[in-house]
Structure 1
Amino acid sequence: MKKKSLLFLVLLFTFGLILAACNADKGSTPPEGNNDDPATAEGISGEITVWAHPYTGGAEAETEMWDKMIASFEDQYDVKVNFETIPWPNRDQKILTALASNTGPDIFYVIPDQMPQYADVGMLVELDPYLKDNDMDDFVETALMATQWKGKTYGLPILQEATTFFYNVDVIKAIGEDPNNLPKTWDEFKEWAEKANANGYYAMSYPGGGSMNHTLYPWLWQAGGNVVNEDNEVLINSPEGLEAFEWINDMYQKGWIPEDSITATDHNGLWLGGKILAVMGSADLISVLQDEGDFDFVISPPLKNKEQYAYGTTGMFVVASNSDNPDAAAEFLKTITNADNQRTFNSLTNFIPTRESAKDIFAEGEPLSYIAANTQYALPGVIHPKGRAIMPLIQAELQAMMAGDKTPQEALDAAEKAIEAEMAK
């Protein structure tokens, strides 16, 4: 085991012990004060520390944005906000180390596969008691799903993405189809895939060496299946799971996806070179196509089989359970994720607001408006503390299947056993 991984596990275990002792006294829910309802508590004061990351390449513009948000909050509350931007690399270790030594932030940024890891060992404050006066109905439902673990809310979402199909208009026309009438179902896409293959094109990109969020999971969800649930039940080995495995295997064996799809991490060269009908992409692909693409493109909603789903991460801010000022921290989360501040944040970063009312930053017909319309279908991945750990286990079995070493059912059986072993650790 690498030293870095060992350090991470030791810190996680150590922090869990620290929290067990702390939570015996104060718990991870809001402390009792003069007002039994934290959502309406007055007299919020003190100091909080916030850790965020760089979300664009423009540090000056981001600093100006955060300064304005913080100034507005400090004008409203007698609270001093200390803000720090920390780099993306090794952020888990940095956060765990700081929290374990009680020198960490009150507020920090996480994504859906981090949140349940932290929540499950008591590292996060449950926010539900603070949200009674917050307009939660305005949030996109799939964004809120990403913030919840075992029926409790641990974060407030500020950004969202949706990954769906981008089609090359030139290829669509070359296979005799209409860019204004894109496939809506698996069966319709199969017809286009066969035509693309017959005309010397790949139907789609399949980066089999990359994340399951972009390879297996969308097909599994669309088939009506899932991987695991919060009760540690392994669900992947099902008729729906088999349908997804067979679909991927079929695409590879028929040559609908590139020859290196077993281990490839991207097919950008083939896509930008006009050799692929469609790729799964999100907002960041728009700028790539506008800068480097030599063809028009159209964006479709996710395909539907039994269900209509896609993958899309959600970025959220959470409150550390050892915060000395959870009241002020929760209020700051509500402030930076309100509609106005989401308009400001997402206009700068080119992500999608998690509040429906804030999506008015996109003009009708512009590419980002199509991405924004699809967040309703965007599941945030496998919400489970083992969500990251099981990905390479599933990936290995898919690769063995595509290489012809296992049948889809054999690969599915092996994936189930591997996941069960990991869950038992």
Structure 2
Amino acid sequence: MMKKMFKALLATGLAVLLLGACGNAKKEDGQKESKQVETSADAEKKTDGEKTELLLWMPPFGTEDTLDKEMWKKVLAPFEKENNCNVTVEVIPWSNYEEKYLTAISSGAGPDLGYMYMEMMNDYIDMGALEPFDSYLTDKEKDNFYYLDKGVIDGKQYALPIVVGNARILCYNKKLLEQAGVEKAPETWDEFLAACKKLKDAGITPIQQQWGDASKGSLNSIFFPYLWQAGGDLFSEDGKQATFNSEAGKKAVEFLYSLKKEGYLPDSATSLTTNELYEQFKTGQVAFCVVGTNKGKGFTEAGVDWDYITSLKDKKNATFVAADSLVLLSGSKHKDLAAKMALYMLSGPSMTQFHEMAPFAPVGKDEEYHDNEQFKKIYEEEKDDLHTLPAVKGSAAIYDNLYKNLQLMMLGELSPEEALKESADFANEALAQN
């Protein structure tokens, strides 16, 4: 019992520390801003031979971080030449992505342009760390981009969506299902559980999940879809109250816990990472997994006979879709050039190169659809089933605490009810301070 209490307190303490750092950063950033920002007139004083230095932060999408860095350097080479600048590309691991931003912004050492997912943004807007793109967008660019509305927060264009897609889908190994006598892919929770029983009885591991991954982004695959499928949601519409400790939330966590309790989800799930999950499915060790659509190409190249359904259904069909964006940092000394770089990165030719490494749907009219054709129906016929995370202030720390408590649940140290209650109590206390 003491071990359980210690872990829960540790998770809460870390999240509160992060929130406290955010609050302190707002004051420090405001104090330093006048020293950091270089005016356009100052920039023009540079000699013709002196290059402007820009720093770009991106997460990894390739199988190795070096692939992302090499790809972006290749994409940006013409931009560097045309604008007499040098772009340093830093690829930040998902496992400490938010920590890296928080530490850098608090000390005034962030990038000029960076990549953020929606649940991060409100905190940094509140800190005064993000600059809107409104003044940098032309009417032509506004007409070209499909998803600009997803980057509008508090009435301003704080974000330019770069990844809208990578929906989390339930993939299945057709040969393994056939071996177990599962005649068709399940569509509902009950059908899924029945299929898992047949697979287990046939000596086949039914499903794997990455409960040991360091990144709380795993919740996009292993919790959020089930909460939405049960008819629940994360927050109230005004973002002031956590709503996941509901009957729908309880049903979702009990469904997930039952997978482990019934032996459908192996014990190794509690130490499994996302990359290990992909490898197990690619090598035919597991029948089901929920992954992003950008992994489908790898499964096919590995020779897996696979297919997918977009989501299971309890009360409704629902799954997660990313809406991640480029953001302009207020501390940049070269905002005009950084904004110009953002628009260059989002242009059709640049996105085509990015999507060769990381298949996603286009974000603008100036790029053809390069993603796997089998996923096209998700974005054209099933788009109402796709959910993004809301931009709620403090939600990053809330999700971190939720993930830790759900991990304790899967380890058997918290009951499903305790995991939800402790997470919701933390969330509502944090939201009350906003």
Query: Residue 213 of structure 1 aligns to a residue in which SS?
Result: helix
CA separation of 1:231/1:393 partners in 2, compared to 1, >3 Å: closer, same or farther? same
Q: After the TM superposition, which residues 48-197 of structure 1 pair with which residues of structure 2 at under 5 Å, given as runs?
A: 49-53=54-58, 56=62, 57-58=66-67, 59-71=69-81, 74=82, 80-89=84-93, 104-131=110-137, 133-136=139-142, 139=145, 145=150, 147-159=151-163, 160-178=165-183, 182-197=185-200
* Residue identity matched to 1:112: M
Structure with the higher fraction of residues in helix conformation: 2
Identity %: 24
Q: Which residue of 2 aligns with 1:38?
A: none
Q: Which residue of 1 aligns with 2:292?
A: 282
CA contact (8 A) 2:15 2:400 kept: no
1:205 aligns with 2:212: no
- TM-score w.r.t. the length of structure 2 is 0.73
CA contact (8 A) 2:405 2:419 kept: yes
Query: Residue 259 of structure 2 aligns to a residue in which SS?
Result: helix
* Aligned pairs, number: 393
Q: Which residue of 1 aligns with 2:260?
A: 252
Q: Which residue of 2 aligns with 1:43?
A: none
* Residue identity matched to 1:168: N
CA separation of 1:50/1:204 partners in 2, compared to 1, >3 Å: closer, same or farther? same
CA contact (8 A) 1:302 1:374 kept: no
CA contact (8 A) 1:48 1:329 kept: no
CA separation of 1:371/1:215 partners in 2, compared to 1, >3 Å: closer, same or farther? same
Query: Residue 287 of structure 2 aligns to a residue in which SS?
Result: strand
CA contact (8 A) 2:232 2:246 kept: yes
1:315-346 Cα offsets, whole Å, 9 max, x none, are: 42111123455445434423321333322322
Q: Which residue of 1 aligns with 2:44?
A: none
Q: Which residue of 2 aligns with 1:242?
A: 250
Offset of residue 238 of structure 1: 1.4
Offset of residue 168 of structure 1: 0.6
CA separation of 1:96/1:80 partners in 2, compared to 1, >3 Å: closer, same or farther? farther
CA separation of 1:302/1:363 partners in 2, compared to 1, >3 Å: closer, same or farther? closer
Query: Residue 228 of structure 2 aligns to a residue in which SS?
Result: helix
CA contact (8 A) 2:186 2:192 kept: yes
Q: Which residue of 2 aligns with 1:341?
A: 350
Structure 2, unaligned stretches of length 5 or more?
1-9, 40-50
Q: After the TM superposition, which residues 27-46 of structure 1 pair with which residues of structure 2 at under 5 Å, given as runs?
A: none
Offset of residue 397 of structure 1: 3.8
CA distance in 1, matches of 2:145, 2:187: 26
Q: Which residue of 2 aligns with 1:42?
A: none
Structure 1, unaligned stretches of length 5 or more?
32-45
CA distance in 1, matches of 2:243, 2:143: 30
**Higher mean C-alpha displacement, 214-223 vs 356-365:** 356-365
Q: Which residue of 2 aligns with 1:298?
A: 307
**Higher mean C-alpha displacement, 101-110 vs 203-212:** 101-110
CA contact (8 A) 1:317 1:333 kept: yes
Offset of residue 404 of structure 1: 5.6
Offset of residue 408 of structure 1: 3.5
CA contact (8 A) 2:29 2:108 kept: no
* Residue identity matched to 2:309: S
- TM-score w.r.t. the length of structure 1 is 0.74
CA separation of 1:137/1:202 partners in 2, compared to 1, >3 Å: closer, same or farther? farther
**Higher mean C-alpha displacement, 9-18 vs 105-114:** 9-18
Offset of residue 244 of structure 1: 0.9
CA separation of 1:130/1:308 partners in 2, compared to 1, >3 Å: closer, same or farther? farther
1:83-106 Cα offsets, whole Å, 9 max, x none, are: 111241566566566656666543
CA contact (8 A) 1:106 1:323 kept: yes
CA distance in 2, matches of 1:7, 1:84: 30
CA separation of 1:148/1:260 partners in 2, compared to 1, >3 Å: closer, same or farther? farther
Offset of residue 236 of structure 1: 0.9
Q: 1:225 aligns with which of 220, 227, 232?
A: 232
Offset of residue 360 of structure 1: 1.8
